[in-house]
Amino acid sequence: MNKTTILIATNNKGKAEEIKKIFQNTNFEPKFLFDFSEQLKDLKIIENAKSFEGNALIKAIVVGDILKMITLADDSGLCVKALDDRPGVLSARYSEAGTDRENYLKVLKEMTGIPFAKRDCYYNCAVAIYDPKTKFVDTVFGIWEAKIALEPKGEKSFGYAPIILAKDFDYKKTNAEFDPEDLININHRGKAFKQAIKVLEDYLKY
């Protein structure tokens, strides 16, 4: 089967491995920013939108126009209900240090004293689809419900995973106690990219 090559606008190797799994057995072969490091050596993207959708669109359009490829870009983050949906679009840079550990420790500190019943949160992922040739654009979303753990556990994943207890597992284990690839079929990114694949199939008339 001849596959259509598409670009996924991320340099995150962990995320790329998840996304490759989603695209198995589809009509598409995903490439990533690190596959075009020479062409993109001067790339600078300012993600200054106030929504996940806005930031995803910025990435998809900027990179798609440079490489002249159908491009998908995602922006996702953690929204904690007790914190008025923070960290939200600031998830990747929530703490001063901006590291995964400092980010989730800041959330844990802000949740001090909040009982488990009120520690609801959700991941939100927006995926933008952009074709620079026709200027076709669309966005899809994925939501994954969870709770904030009382303490971090696990080392198998990245981001806020050590403090996230997914509803799918009855809040028994953190996401970092699972291999990331085992979660892709149920998490926010998996849900959003599966919808994006359907949009692409309709658009390209597969």
How does pLDDT run across 7-64, given as a tens digit for each residue? 999 988 878 988 999 999 999 999 999 999 888 888 888 878 899 999 999 999 999 9
CB 167 within 8 A of CB 146: yes
Query: What is the tens place of the pLDDT at every residue in 93-131?
Result: 999 998 999 999 999 999 999 999 999 999 999 999 999
Catalytic residue among 42, 65, 74, 75: 75
CB 104 within 8 A of CB 86: no
Band the pLDDT of 1: cuts 50, 70, 90.
Answer: low
Query: What is the tens place of the pLDDT at every residue in 31-42?
Result: 999 999 888 888
Please list, in sequence order, all residues whose beta carbon lies within 8 angstroms of the beta carbon of residue 81, skipping any fewer than 6 positions away. Answer: 118, 120, 121, 122
Band the pLDDT of 185: cuts 50, 70, 90.
Answer: confident
Annotation marks residue 85 as catalytic: no
Report the relative pairing of strands 164-166 and 86-87 from DSSP bridges: unpaired
pTM of the model: 0.89
Q: Between 3.90.950.10, 3.40.50.2300, 3.30.9.90, 3.40.50.2000, what CATH number should domain 4-204 receive?
A: 3.90.950.10
